[in-house]
Structure formats: structure tokens, C-alpha cells
Amino acid sequence: MKFTVEANTPGSAARAGKFITDHGSVLTPIFMPVGTIGSVKGVHMRELRDDINAQIILGNTYHLYLRPGLDILERAGGLHKFNGWERPILTDSGGFQVFSLSGIRKLTEEGAHFRSHIDGSKHLFTPEGVVDIERTIGADIMMALDECTPGTADYAYARKSLDLTLRWLQRGWDRYKSTEGKYGYYQSYFPIVQGCVYPDLRREAAQRVAEYEADGNAIGGLAVGEPVEQMYEMIEVVNEILPQDKPRYLMGVGTPANLLEGIDRGVDMFDCVMPTRNGRNGMIFTRNGIMNMRNLKWANDFSPLDEGGASWVDEAYSRAYVRHLFVSGELLAMQIASIHNLAFYLWLVGEARKHILQGDFATWKPAMLENVTRRL
């Protein structure tokens, strides 16, 4: 995997770049739609490719491991063949999903013991085993197994958690370096920086992670309960240390404002379920602000969903019609909202990239930030 920084911008840590995988290249900064079980909910691969112009999507190791299972994925030739997506795929390690199963999991030195949310069966994720699982899934970018520390954790817990994550990282790295992919193409392995909201722990983690000289690095354990100001502070702390010549991935974040603030602080890659999950519940993100499509105010508004928007659905459907679909419980409403919100997120990071290349990101960002956070 090759990453190139194409431009920096005055007055900001934002940068435009490009990384190349065996399934294609990705221009950064980039937002990656979340395809938890091998699909982005309610969105066809054709729409992801042609209408939304997604350059890379995510798969979820925990969910894919449980269903459809590794045997089926291997017989299919990997997730790319199984779901028909020909562009790059990134898989998380399942660490966050195990973290979210607080009542039915236990962390030990060996790994993460948990029960399936599907049938209650017992399973174990080890650092080595997760590498093997992600090899079988066939992701272009695989993530290391970590413990996602709650944002409200005290220092003693965060210290203990980070030490475990770093020991797991060494074991996962050793397995990664001693194995090869199953399907004839190269797979990258990204370490994850943890450390909760404690700057000294974050610095230590970033320094340890940087020593691996991996193809890229991730920042995890943010947007999990801590104040947003602390999240931004931790990004700055970490990005002062992580290598400049490797992509930086902020995991599971977030709102349009989070994307802009993250880009401003040197983040290259983002993912979040927000555009699809919130879209299915009637929240539409636009370049002029946020709309709740169930509100009565849209009932007689026949203007486009988002005039001049990033997807064909923005001009094809009026606000009044989309509201009608939502209040009627029509499934098409959720599909329209998902396509629109994903297209908007991709448009937003694309606009950020354009202004980084032009050198005026620092002056463009404040006005755009005000627009995208406005409630309409």
C-alpha cells in the first residue's frame, strides 16, 4: 500500500493525499460508508459506486465472523467476491463490538471472550485469531484487535487497558508479518492508538504505534462518551506524533462538523454509521443545515430535497414527498435518506480536499462549519 501527501494547506494541519491498494486508489480525506454485514443498509452496490461515488467501504469483523461465517466467505473467494464490491474494503477488528457487549464479554490476556448476540454461543477473539479472520474476509485494510476504553474511564483503568492493547498489538503484528492473504492480493494492517482522554497515554500509544512503521495508523476510543473538546484535543496530541507519510484513520467519527474538525487536525480517513442510521430515522444532512423530515414544516415544501445536492435523489424528490414517505412508514424514505446522506458526506470531504489543494481550506472551513451545523 502506497500513500502520498499531495498537498498541505496554510493555517491548518489538513492535507490532501492518495493511497493505492490492489483494489484501487482512494483520494483523501475520505469518508467510508459502513457495510456492517457486507452491505450498506438499504443501498445497492451500484448506487454506492455510481451515485454516491464511495471509494472504499467497511466490513465488520465481528458480524461477518458470526454470519455468514468464515467458511462461506472463503468459499466465495472473500468479501469482495461475496458482495460484488470491486473497490477497496476495510475491516475493523471487532474490538468495538465486543466492547459494546459489556454484559456478555470478558477481557483476558488471551483475548476477548464473548457470547454471540445471535444465539448466545461462546467465542474468543485473540489478536492472532482476528488477523486470521480478517485474512479470510479479504479486506484490503485490516485493523488490530484492541480494547475500546470508555471515554469516561478513570486513569488507572485507561492505563491498564492501553497496556493490554499494546501487548495485543505486538501479538497481532507478529501474526500479520508471518502470514499472507488467501486471495492473491496485498492486505495492510493498521495499529490503533488508544489512551482514553489522557494526553500522556495517547502520546505513549502514538509513539509505540509509530514504531511499527505500518502502512497506516488509526485513532480509536473517541466519540465514546467524552466531551467533543477532549476528542479534538486527543486528535491533536496523537497527530503530532503519528508519521506524516502514513494515512491517519479516525474510527467511528462522526458528524459533518466532526469530519471538518478532524480534517483540520490532520485526519485522512473517517467512518460512521450516522449518515445511514440517522437517515433511516428521518435526519437529512445538507450543505445548508440539518432537516428532520418528520417535521410539519416540510409538508408543503415542494423544493428539492437539497437543491444542487450531491446525488440524483436530491433533485428527484421534494421535501414534501420525502416527509410524506417518512410519516407513512414507507421503506423508500429510508433508502432515499441513506443515499442522500452518504452522497453528502462524500461531497463534504471532496469539497474539503478541493480547498486543501487550492490552499484556502482554513478560510473555507468556518463558513461551511456554520452551514452544516445549522438546524433548518
Residue positions annotated with a catalytic role: 92, 271
Q: In sequence order, what are the residues at sequence separation of 6 or more whose Cβ sits closer than 8 angstroms to the Cβ of residue 227?
A: none
DSSP H or E segment with residue 164: helix 155-177
Kindly list the strands in the beta sheet with 15-21, ordered across the sheet, starting from the edge strand earlier in the chain: 2-8, 15-21, 24-28
Give the 3-state secondary structure of residue 173. Answer: helix
- Omega prior to 254 cis, within 30 of 0: yes
Alpha-carbon span 87 to 49, nearest angstrom: 9
Q: Which amino acid is at 329?
A: G
Strand, coil or helix: 328: coil
Dump the DSSP string for 113-171.
EEE-TTT--EEEE-HHHHHHHHHHHT-SEEE-------TT--HHHHHHHHHHHHHHHHH
Judged by DSSP in three states, 18 sits in: strand
Residue 342 · residue 283 · CB < 8 Å: no
* Residue among 209, 201, 111, 124 nearest 166 (CA): 209
Pairing of strands 122-125, 112-115: antiparallel
Cis amide bond preceding 275, omega within 30 = no
Provide the total of helices (H) and of strands (E) in the chain, helices listed first.
15, 18
d(CA 289, CA 294): 15
Half-sphere exposure of 3 (CA within 13 A, CB side): 22
DSSP letter for 310, please.
Answer: S
Query: Cβ distance 141 to 91 under 8 Å?
Result: yes
